[in-house]
Amino acid sequence: MQKPTLPKGWNQVSLEQFIELRQLKAEDGLFNHNIDVLCVLTDSYPDDFDDAELHEVGEWFKDLQWLYSEPTKNYVDRVGKFHLKPMNELTLGEFIDLEYYFSNDYIKFLPNICALLYRIPEIIEDGVVAKWETTAFKTTSRAHYFLEQPITKMYGILTEYIKFRDQFITKHSNLMTEDIEDDLSDIDDPEERKEAEKQKASNKWGWEQLIWSMCNGDLTKYDQVINMKLILVFNFLAMRKELDI
């Protein structure tokens, strides 16, 4: 069988292909797994490789050793008309969405993460974005655009966000809820268990409680609160805690 045209590096692999590659399992044997990899990289079907011999596939994979390393952790500041929004400009609502994506499957949701972080500037003054578009759109409606882009344009944004998140949480650790084990059966003391159950319930509704608190119980202010800058919200929370307001 003639050797297929294969990419020579991660810069020739789209975000969509990268996600598909990461979802592949080697449960059906190495040969079948390699065929699945070839299908992803060449946009083909397994039937297209019915005539491929074991030694041929092995030879082709000698040129695919880069697959066993991570893509470069660089990223671009602009993808088409979308500009990367600075992390310190994130709103509370955007941070909550990002927390959901990262706590579930950040590779699967990388298109959504990109759609949220890369935005259209509404006002640019002296080359600096003075106003960003709001999140009055579904990230899924833009995800397809980023799926078509090379993974090397955006892969590093994961590391950049995690670094920002870790620094932010460390700085505001006294305002964050503590992690509680799901299984509380090992706690013998009734009072300790009661407190742990209360903390567990509090953690479950953590973001809702925070928004409720910032709204002062007036949910008509919900949109106003979630569109506030994340850093501003936590500065207010820190002030309220310090002054016992």
Average pLDDT, rounded, for the chain = 85
- The 10s digit of each residue's pLDDT in 144-165 is 999 999 999 999 999 999 999 9
Predicted confidence band of residue 187 (pLDDT cuts 50, 70, 90):
low
DSSP string, the chain: -PPP---SSGGGSBHHHHHHHHH---TT-HHHHHHHHHHHHHT--GGGGTT--HHHHHHHHGGGGGGGSPPPS---SEETTEEEPPGGG-BHHHHHHHHHHHHH-TTTTHHHHHHHHEE-EEEEETTEEEEE--S-S-THHHHHHHHTSBGGGTTHHHHHHHHHHHHHHHHTGGGSPPP--S--TT---HHHHHHHHHHHHHHHTHHHHHHHHHTTT-GGGHHHHHTSBHHHHHHHHHHHHHHT-
Indicate whether this model's pTM tops 0.85.
no
For residue 180, the model assigns a pLDDT of 39
For residue 66, the model assigns a pLDDT of 96
Parse the chain into domains and list their residue ranges.
Answer: 10-68, 78-171, 185-243
- The 10s digit of each residue's pLDDT in 10-69 is 999 999 999 999 999 877 788 999 999 999 999 999 999 999 999 999 999 999 999 999
